[in-house]
Amino acid sequence: MSTQPLPPRGPSDGDTLDYIAEQLETRGYAVIPAAVPPALVDRLFIELKQLDSAEFKPAGIGRQDDFQVNRFVRSDQICWLQGQSEGAGGFLDWMEQLRQGLNRRLFLGLFDYEAHFASYPPGAFYKKHLDAFKGQSNRVLSTVFYLNPQWQPSDGGELVIYAEDGESELECVRPEYGKLVIFLSEVFPHEVRPAQRERYSIAGWFRVNNSSALVPDPPR
């Protein structure tokens, strides 16, 4: 058995940052059961429940010009976080602390962060994919944060993280309330298995800035 250090609980303090940085450096991903302050998790959950279903749109694949909705690849609904509300603002602030902390520790040059709520109705999925392809995207680190109270193993909906070869399973993560997963966007193929219940999350990406005066950074 490998002896991984126990993940710390609590806010984005030095210990949490050290833990995430160490995991990213040694394994390329981190699973933290309770990184975000509980009051913030509850606030986000309330806001998510208050969102009108009309604000959720079918998620697509690709960027602006080649954006397409493909129900065979993914069948979730999304709503981008704007940060105007207490919970969403708190979450984006927390991620900003993480961005700065990781830049200091790992020199990643992370430039900004974008995130959306995602809702997977029962039976919805996201087939095995990479969040970024080398040289084609400025997404460097993917984050997924789960908002599913009392999630049971029989509810399914796991996030499966595969090794770079796309075959061997590295991790099968239950989408439990308050859990945060972070991984290198270009390295790990992953998939969302269908769930028995509605499955809620916030998916986000830390990005680098590849723009210059002549070549603007591509839109997401």
Ligand X SMILES: O=C(O)CCC(=O)C(=O)O
Question: Which CB sits closer to ligand X, 12 or 201?
Answer: 201
Beta bridge partners of 79: 117
- Element containing residue 165 per DSSP (H, E): none
Binding segment for Fe ion (CB under 5 A), chosen from 28-36, 67-75, 130-138, 209-217, is: 130-138
* Amino acid letter for position 40: L
The distance of closest approach from Cβ of residue 118 to ligand X in the complex, given in angstroms and rounded to an integer, is 6
The distance of closest approach from Cβ of residue 107 to ligand X in the complex, given in angstroms and rounded to an integer, is 25
* Backbone Cα Rg of the chain: 17
| Residue corresponding to tokens 């993480």 | 98
d(CA 14, CA 25): 16
Question: Which CB sits closer to ligand X, 12 or 143?
Answer: 143
The distance of closest approach from Cβ of residue 3 to ligand X in the complex, given in angstroms and rounded to an integer, is 27
- Residues contributing to the site for ligand X (CB under 6 A): 118, 126, 131, 144, 159, 190, 192, 201, 203
Question: Which CB sits closer to Fe ion, 131 or 155?
Answer: 131
Pick from 195, 203, 190, 197: nearest CA to 164 = 190
The distance of closest approach from Cβ of residue 84 to ligand X in the complex, given in angstroms and rounded to an integer, is 22
How many residues line the site for Fe ion (CB under 5 A)?
1
What's the DSSP call for residue 68?
B
Enter the tokens of residue 94.
Answer: 């927390």
Helix 86-106 / helix 14-26 crossing angle, nearest 10 deg: 60
Question: Which CB sits closer to ligand X, 71 or 104?
Answer: 71
Question: Which CB sits closer to ligand X, 5 or 149?
Answer: 149
Task: Answer with the entry of ligand X, Fe ion, none that 124 interacts with (C-beta below 5 to 8 A by kind).
Answer: none
131 is a contact residue toward Fe ion (CB under 5 A)? yes
Question: Which CB sits closer to ligand X, 153 or 216?
Answer: 153
How many helices (DSSP H) and strands (DSSP E) are in the chain?
A: 3, 11
Task: Answer with the entry of Fe ion, ligand X, none that 202 interacts with (C-beta below 5 to 8 A by kind).
Answer: none
Task: Answer with the entry of ligand X, Fe ion, none that 143 interacts with (C-beta below 5 to 8 A by kind).
Answer: none
Enter the tokens of residue 6.
Answer: 């126990």
d(CA 160, CA 193): 8
